Chain A
Amino acid sequence: MTAITSTPAAAPPSFFRRALKQKRFAVGLTVTVLVVLFAIFAPLFAPYGENETAGPPYSSVGVLGTDYLGQDVLSRVMYGGVGILVISVLATALGMVLGILIGVVAAYSGGWWDEVIMRLNDVLLAFPQILLALVVLTAVENPAPWVIILLVGLSHAPRVARVARGVALGIVSRDFVVAAEALGEKRSRVILAEVLPNMTGPLLAEAGLRLTYSIGLVAALGFLGFAADPGAANWGQMMNENRLGLATQPWSVMAPVLMIAIFTIGTNLMADGLAQISQKRAD
């Protein structure tokens, strides 16, 4: 047997390594990493504090001017990333996990269960995504971050579930799933080991899209005044705070908008690239 271990088969290059070779993924990953690094480390280099006044409101003091309270916009942008990114990523993760669970279980059970689960899901789908969050948030004063994560995540779940079910339907009828059934594998193992690994491509693309929506949603909630900490810097909230000064001091709105735009483009390119590669692999 040593002969076999010493002359291993030409192991295929790892998934990640092949992904890096693809331009789309590499660019997306670079952009995403840069924005994340910026969000994490920029506060250390901020010229002013998060709530420090730098000059009169909407003046051109500093690189990007000041905002409605005279706080330095550049410093606020530097501080305002971590919160929104952490909340969005966690909310996306929660929404994906819940949605995939619902979708795959519905597809795998089939028949009557499938109908019931998916019709209930359709009821939830009928509400605009932000509405569900707003209904709860209006009742809660100063919501904790986890409340926002929970609400955004939950509002994603039915949408992810539809996609996940569609993808899973094409897989649960394949012979290798039937073969696992015939061997008597546990149902949970059939789902985790046989069905899920074959869904990664479309699900990654969906995750990228959902992350984009999460950021938009969290930013929108911030814009509407529902942020975990009203005083803290937050890209979404900054747009709201400074919208009146859009004409006199556009950077106070444009800077956070640009950051969000760059980040979502990055994550989308990354997810797209991953999806393409796993598609190629399946052929």
Chain B
Amino acid sequence: MTATAAERQATPSGGLVVEDLEVSLTSRPVDVVDDIDLVLHPGEVVGLVGESGSGKTTVGTSLLGYSRAGALISAGKVLLEGRDVLKLPWKEVRQLRGEEIAYVPQDPASALNPSIRIGKQIVELMELRGIGTSESRRQGARDGLAEVGLPNDDEFLKRYAHQLSGGQVQRVALAMAFLPKPKVLVLDEPTTGLDVTTQKMVLDTMAELCRAYGVSALYVTHDLAVVANIADRVAVMYAGQIVEVGPKETIFAHPSHPYTRALLDSIPHLSQARALRGIPGRTPAPGARPDGCRFNDRCSFAVDECRREAPALRTIAPDHEVRCIRVEEIGVWDINRGTVPDADPDRQRDVILSLEGLNVFYGRKHVVHDVNLDLAKGEVVALVGESGSGKTTISRSVGGLHKDWTGIVNFEGRELAKSARGRGAEDRRRMQYIFQNPYLSLNPRLTVEQIIRRPMELFGLAKGKPATDRVVELMEQVALGPGMLYYEANRLSGGERQRVAIARALAAEPDVMICDEITSALDVSVQGSIVALLEDLRKQRGISMLFVTHNLALVRSIAARVEILQAGRVVESGPVVSVMETPREEYTRKLLANSPSIG
């Protein structure tokens, strides 16, 4: 440890050094994050990766000497050119925030003041610091916007935040962060919620500016694929500690911590279908973290010693540190582990559901134009597109949740009514809809048992004790213990909720499931286990699925056929392999090129 510390002191000026950082709760003596050592070299982008609850955002804001309400930075140093940010008087910290260490928040829409024009907001930054004249400030704002590739004419400067697209807002936020020429930049998931094309643009802009100005950046994210595309070095966090840190190439080629490996195993690749795997259990909350190695209860390599002793971060190769005592014993890892053959494009198809000439309207607005597609028994068809492409609208129309549409939806040769209420009970039972956000789709006042058994009672499949038995059986199938039977939905984590939602759909014994972005609100490891679950269901029960998603890599692993949507029209469709290997349309090629991926 001492050797590395000395080495860090020798880091050339610029850049930032974090030593032994610890943030704890103010209410209880519990660490949110601890033992964080991190170096940001000048001009380097470091990706800080972790799942929800790992403490990555806490570390990010700590670099600015800030901790959210209810937490405080209890120990450690954040050294910027030899000055400890955490020890500076707050007036200097205020000066330093934004000027030397800038922060780009997650939600671009809430980062800009909706009632002040864009130009004024940028100019205000310089006014606050008393830089330049009003003319030079205006010019500064124009230059800043030009740097991030935005228009900088008067018309644009006069716009309000709501008149810009999500990507534009995020680039304005970037321009504002870069304007005072900071030395360090902290980006907190700045591209979450953006389409892949926009995300790519924002990321490229950011990386370019960092390299051009020698700015070190800490890129906080849950998305390993994004990190693979932009970071120089990667730090992986789990339960409040860095478990592995090293150059990007090393982390993705030779991940050495079991958690990093498990995380990589749960990520779909663009280039090849994979059997995705999740990580059992859930991320422990601060205060509930196990003794010894914090990953020991979910780790497939854990031995008794892991439960007794808390491992330290060890250097196993130059610049590569791992927090695991069994690094040498757990063997090597291969990125192609888990690869499976792509879905066979020539499989016999027995169509169960087909859409002919589907047009969907919202009032007078025509949002989906003339869509034709079909779904075979035991097949997964993916609807892919960027936001606003109409993919969810189509799925809602098919599911009978939106009734303002024309065209024909054929279910086993019978035409379906427009709304769910207009359809027979049997049709409603056989087609089940699963929603994107499990936090909204379960009634928080009902218990898991009540939620799952309701479809059985409604459709007369079972009642009384047999129904309860069936609920337990279904919960087992979606990997939920019977201990959760009487939990209210709001006591469950996101992944557990989504499993309950799937169990509810299965309770109706459906033939078709419509899955609307069901993994996009979840962590990758949870997404991995949900996808594995769906794959099992498809194989065992022959359930067909209409799978709506924006994630092309995920499509490769789960679907047999794919429909690419753009502005309410299907621009390309076919078997997954042919569409993704040999895309015919420019739009598809663009989507594929912009999708971040590690494989």
Partner of B469, one of A1, A197, A198: A1
Q: Report the bound CA distance from A197 to B508 in whole Å.
A: 24
Q: Report the bound CA distance from A16 to B315 in whole Å.
A: 54
Q: Report the bound CA distance from A185 to B420 in whole Å.
A: 10
Given contacts A183-B454, A183-B455, A197-B443, contact A9 B486 (CB under 8 A): yes
Q: Report the bound CA distance from A12 to B491 in whole Å.
A: 10
Given contacts A176-B440, A182-B401, A197-B445, contact A9 B485 (CB under 8 A): yes
Q: Interface on chain A toward B: helix, strand, loop, or mixed SS?
A: helix
CB nearest neighbor in B for A186 = B458
A residues near B428, Cβ cutoff 8 Å? 182-184
Q: Report the bound CA distance from A174 to B488 in whole Å.
A: 17
CB nearest neighbor in B for A184 = B428
Q: Report the bound CA distance from A11 to B425 in whole Å.
A: 34
Is A281 at the interface (CB under 8 A from chain B)? Answer: yes
B residues near A182, Cβ cutoff 8 Å? 399-401, 420, 428, 433
Given contacts A181-B421, A183-B454, contact A4 B488 (CB under 8 A): no
Is A144 at the interface (CB under 8 A from chain B)? Answer: no
Is A178 at the interface (CB under 8 A from chain B)? Answer: yes
Given contacts A1-B469, A176-B441, A182-B428, contact A282 B490 (CB under 8 A): yes
B residues near A9, Cβ cutoff 8 Å? 483-487
Do the beta carbons of A198 and B420 come within 8 Å of each other? no
Is A179 at the interface (CB under 8 A from chain B)? Answer: yes
Do the beta carbons of A184 and B420 come within 8 Å of each other? yes
Interface string of A1-39 (1 = CB under 8 A from B): 100100111011000000000000000000000000000
B residues near A12, Cβ cutoff 8 Å? 487-488, 491
A192 CB → nearest B CB, Å: 12
Is B126 at the interface (CB under 8 A from chain A)? Answer: no
Q: Report the bound CA distance from A229 to B478 in whole Å.
A: 66
Count of CB-CB pairs between chains A and B under 8 Å: 72
Do the beta carbons of A183 and B458 come within 8 Å of each other? yes
CB nearest neighbor in B for A7 = B483
Is B435 at the interface (CB under 8 A from chain A)? Answer: yes
Is B14 at the interface (CB under 8 A from chain A)? Answer: no
Q: Report the bound CA distance from A282 to B488 in whole Å.
A: 10
CB nearest neighbor in A for B484 = A9
Partner of A4, one of B435, B437, B482: B482
A residues near B454, Cβ cutoff 8 Å? 183
Is A241 at the interface (CB under 8 A from chain B)? Answer: no
Is B442 at the interface (CB under 8 A from chain A)? Answer: yes
Is B444 at the interface (CB under 8 A from chain A)? Answer: yes
Q: Report the bound CA distance from A193 to B450 in whole Å.
A: 11
Is B293 at the interface (CB under 8 A from chain A)? Answer: no
CB nearest neighbor in B for A198 = B445
Is B472 at the interface (CB under 8 A from chain A)? Answer: yes
Is A175 at the interface (CB under 8 A from chain B)? Answer: yes
Interface positions of A from 155 to 197, Cβ below 8 Å from B: 174-176, 178-179, 181-185, 193-194, 197
CB nearest neighbor in B for A11 = B486
Top 9 A-B pairs, shortest CB-CB distance: A175-B441, A197-B445, A175-B440, A175-B435, A176-B443, A182-B420, A9-B483, A184-B428, A4-B482
Give A contacts to B, CB under 8 Å: 1, 4, 7-9, 11-12, 174-176, 178-179, 181-185, 193-194, 197-198, 281-283
Give B contacts to A, CB under 8 Å: 399-401, 420-421, 423, 425, 428, 433, 435-437, 440-446, 454-455, 458, 465, 468-469, 472, 482-488, 490-491, 504, 508
